[in-house]
Amino acid sequence: MKKDNNTKEYFKKWQEIKLSDSSRARMKEELDAYISFHAVQGGVRVTDDGRSISQVPRRTLLFPLRLIYMPFIIMIAVVVGGGTSFAAQGAVPGDFLYPVKTEVNESVRSAFAFGADAEARLQAKLIEERVEEAKELKAEGELKGEAAITLANKTKRNAEHAEVALQESVKAETEATANKIIIALTEYNAVVENQTSLVVGISAFEQILVNGGFATELATGTSTISELQSRTSARLSGLQSVIAEHQADISAAVQAELTANLERAEELATDAAVAIEADARRLYDDAATALGEVEAKLSTIGTVEIDTDNGAIIDIDFNNVPAESNDDATTTDEDMDEDGVEVDVEADADASAGDSSLNVDGSVSGELNI
């Protein structure tokens, strides 16, 4: 069938049927509004029910497989690793199994030490183990190089964990554990022959004893009167110079409190210098408590730098406020109520200093309120 002229004419006319300009313009306008309203969502193509096409996971086999085998992997680890970790218990730094001992075994022991007291006791025990390791290495003539550094790092880490745990532990437990740690660390430092890079600081634990009001034990113990005197004067002068240096950064209310404690400590130290030994120990002890308050306060409003020899604060950085000072921001106690006019930062510091679990006992906070 061929198209004749009429038919061609007909189709031509048909082709002339078009949208009128006005209709087309209106339609375009409405469609533009439609497509911007029903726009592509967030650059991700989505289906009508909101599912993203491209987010369908393609390979899901591997992960379930791993989960299925996990019990077997754990069983193997227990059967094989049980013997290994037992064998590792006698390892010293430099041994193949030493990492198993320190990382695996001690993590497990730490996981079973419930509460801060148990954790602190465990860390004390671990520091004693470090001392044994140090002695063993020294006996073999291997306390040098990599092994010595590894040992020092482990000891430092145990000491840090112990310190954290002691801050949280209850008072009755703190004293014995802190003393144990001090003795162990002193022994360790003696074994490593006071090599600066290997020595682990003890002052933090002495500080804990001082803050907790346990300094009597320390004072009547190993230190001589002259040691107590020099330590007290070093801490006192250190604090005085630090506070004088950073006068601008410390608010008047806090400064008044700090100065009151410092003056009290100075008086006590002066009295102690001329007193008989028994009284002197008690006076230095009281002075240490007062100084401890000042140091605790300073450490809540800035990052303090401590002289490792005598535990004195030698500098303070106000740009780097310890995070924990804000943790107690919401808690209030009697100190805060008395200093109600203080601005936020000092209020935090007060709450923090007063709230410290070591200070809940009346004797210390009584001194704070002078």
Partner 1 sequence: MIQSKLEKVFADTFATYSDAIFRFCLIKVSSVEQAEDMTQEVFMRYWQYLRDGKEMTNTRSFLYTIANNLAKDWYKKKKSVSLDGVLDESGPTGLLADKKVVLSPEISASYQEALAMIDDMDENDKQVLLLTHVEGLTPADIASAIGETANTVSVRLNRALTRLQQRLHTYEKRQ
Binding site for partner 1 (CB under 8 A): 1, 3-4, 6-7, 10-11, 13-24, 27-28, 30-31, 34-35, 38-40, 43, 45-48, 53
Nearest to 137 by CA among 93, 198, 101: 93
Is the Cβ of residue 48 or residue 344 nearer to partner 1 in the bound state?
48
In the complex, least distance from residue 58 CB atom to partner 1, rounded to whole angstroms = 17
Alpha carbons 181 and 367: distance in angstroms, whole number: 28
In the complex, least distance from residue 2 CB atom to partner 1, rounded to whole angstroms = 9
CB 294 within 8 A of CB 258: yes
| Burial 134-150, CB ≥16 within 10 A → b, else e | bebbeeeebbeeebbeb
In the complex, least distance from residue 11 CB atom to partner 1, rounded to whole angstroms = 5
Q: Is 215 helix (H, G, I), strand (E, B) or coil?
A: helix
In the complex, least distance from residue 53 CB atom to partner 1, rounded to whole angstroms = 6
Is the Cβ of residue 24 or residue 66 nearer to partner 1 in the bound state?
24
Nearest to 311 by CA among 329, 324, 326, 299: 299
In the complex, least distance from residue 4 CB atom to partner 1, rounded to whole angstroms = 6
User: Would strands 303-306 and 313-317 be described as parallel, antiparallel, or unpaired?
Assistant: antiparallel
In the complex, least distance from residue 56 CB atom to partner 1, rounded to whole angstroms = 13
Task: Return the sign of the alpha-carbon dihedral for residues 360, 218, 178, 240.
Answer: positive
CB 100 within 8 A of CB 85: yes
Cα–Cα distance list, 303 to 254, 314, 323, 367 (Å): 16, 11, 10, 24
In the complex, least distance from residue 18 CB atom to partner 1, rounded to whole angstroms = 5
In the complex, least distance from residue 23 CB atom to partner 1, rounded to whole angstroms = 5
Alpha carbons 184 and 215: distance in angstroms, whole number: 18
In the complex, least distance from residue 21 CB atom to partner 1, rounded to whole angstroms = 6
Q: What are the backbone dihedrals phi and psi of residue 52, each rounded to the nearest 5 degrees, phi first?
A: -85, 135
Is the Cβ of residue 10 or residue 86 nearer to partner 1 in the bound state?
10
Task: Return the sign of the alpha-carbon dihedral for residues 91, 94, 95, 99.
Answer: positive
Is the Cβ of residue 20 or residue 363 nearer to partner 1 in the bound state?
20
Is the Cβ of residue 18 or residue 59 nearer to partner 1 in the bound state?
18
Is the Cβ of residue 9 or residue 103 nearer to partner 1 in the bound state?
9
Cα–Cα distance list, 118 to 101, 125, 186, 301 (Å): 19, 10, 22, 30
Is the Cβ of residue 19 or residue 70 nearer to partner 1 in the bound state?
19
Is the Cβ of residue 45 or residue 144 nearer to partner 1 in the bound state?
45
Q: Is 51 helix (H, G, I), strand (E, B) or coil?
A: coil
Is the Cβ of residue 34 or residue 69 nearer to partner 1 in the bound state?
34
